[in-house]
Amino acid sequence: MKTFIISALISAMALSSTNAVSANDAHSNESVSPKNIIMIVGDGMGPAYTSAYRYFNDNPNTPQIEQTVFDRTLVGSSSTYPAPVSGYITDSAAAATALATGVKSYNDAIAVDVDKKPVLTVLEWAKTQGKKTGVVVTSQINHATPASYLAHNDFRRNYNAIADSYIDDGIKADVLLGGGWSYFIRKDRNLVDEFKLAGFHYIDKYSDLTNLPANKPVLGLFDKKGLPWALDDTNKHRLSLMTKAAIKQLENKQGYFMLIEASQVDWAGHGRDIAAAMTEMDDLAKTLEYLEEYVTKNPDTLVVLTADHSTGGLSIGRKTGASNKDIRSTYLWQPQILRTMSISPKAFATEFSKTELTIQQVNELLNFNISNDDMNELVKSKKMGVDSLNKYNSLSLSQQKNKWRPNVNGPILITIKNIIDKKTNTGWGSISSSGTHTAIDVPVFSFGAHSEKFKGFQDNTDIAKKIFTLLDKK
């Protein structure tokens, strides 16, 4: 009965996606499916991010603006809206559910429909087809996107329950790489030990990725929650490092399905942090470049990349010469300082909050020069943070109970990001300090076997439906 239900579901999905596949694809529809399918989600990566990366990546010593891997592999676009109950703007959970299952759901849903009933995911289906499966992310591995491929839950922030389901509902992945110590090693339960008992090799350092035992499932957790910003991490291309290791571990005669997520593009958008955003994009670009080489050697592999939504309302350009004395051109975006930064704004704010720095030391730390006015703003923001903390500490315990404990870093972080935005002329659509999601269509990139199926405009659910159809072919 279960087999019949799954087969019926796949047949229905194949029929519903017919209109999204052009007549030119008729021949490939009849051919053998890809042996390996790699699905990549650039979380929050709307079209402004890939455009900005082109200019960030540009070699200023050449007259042309060089194409990036995103330019080479762009094939179409996708709508992202969730189920009507949640309006037009999706969150990561509903979007990942659409990409993983082909079903629209409400914001916060993890692979359940609007009635909160579990829906089959492409990763689960790949597993039933005898393929190995893997998940590689820069967030915690039980965050919204990976969870929507691996679990079923009615609320995305049930992090412990989602982590528990990775064992309790049957282990569905052969490789799990990302962050998440705090959810997998808890006082009430040690899921890492349970994975070990199930035969998994556990690692917690990037250096361990180079010496994995062959033909053994792997769980790798490299931080408490999400990984550090690429700007601050010990390996600035940790997504590509994990991807290479995962592929080596997953390769087999039956093939594999792997989800990769550049999770922190979204976090940078929420933080309105263009410096962090560009280095997260660079990590994703290096991953995609590696996969281009991999597909050349393994042409039976399909790679599909899209975003779940766009975050922050990123604008490549903010003010003009008529509205800002610091801008010398009517239209301008200047990513030069972003190329030289070696520390994230968050890490800088932490250092500035605990150390008395001169302007020269600040310039050295940031790897670009700020003005005296900028320095004065940083000093003022630090005083604001200290004053807020002192005021909080002067309250009684009962008075503190219903208040947030101020963070000295907070005002400094806002100030340094504003300085960077002013110097680069970067704009953000959100009026709050936390950038929101937007409902704009997102780009779709694809290469390898059957990549032509993803050309043109489609809905995010169509991507899952096409993958289901390809996985169903023998």
Helices 345-354 and 359-366 cross at an angle (nearest 10°) of 150
Q: Can you read off the two tokens belonging to residue 462?
A: 């169509």
Nearest to 111 by CA among 81, 154, 79, 80: 154
Residue type, 240: S
| Helix (H), strand (E) at residue 4 | helix 2-16
SS3 295: helix
Alpha helices in 341-424 (DSSP H): 345-354, 359-366, 372-393, 397-400, 409-424
Catalytic-labelled residue, pool 86, 92, 148, 451: 92
- Closest C-alpha among 370, 462, 328 to residue 21: 462
What is the Cα–Cα distance from 454 to 435, expressed in whole angstroms?
29
Annotation marks residue 22 as catalytic: no
H or E element that contains 77: strand 74-79
Indicate the length of the chain as a whole number. 474
* Dist CA 238 CA 139 (whole Å): 12
β-strand partners of 77: 443, 457
What residues contact 92, with CB distance under 8 A and at least 6 apart?
Answer: 43, 44, 143, 144, 145, 156, 266, 308, 309
Distances (CA, A) of 383 to 51, 133, 398, 410: 37, 51, 26, 11
Give Cβ neighbours of residue 144 (< 8 Å, ≥ 6 apart): 91, 92, 93, 96, 110, 156
Tell me the residue ranges of DSSP E strands in 189-309.
Answer: 201-203, 218-221, 256-262, 301-306
Pseudo-torsion of CA 53, 72, 132, 107, nearest 10°? 50
Q: Which DSSP helix (H) or strand (E) runs through 42?
A: strand 36-42
Query: Which amino acids are annotated catalytic?
Result: 92
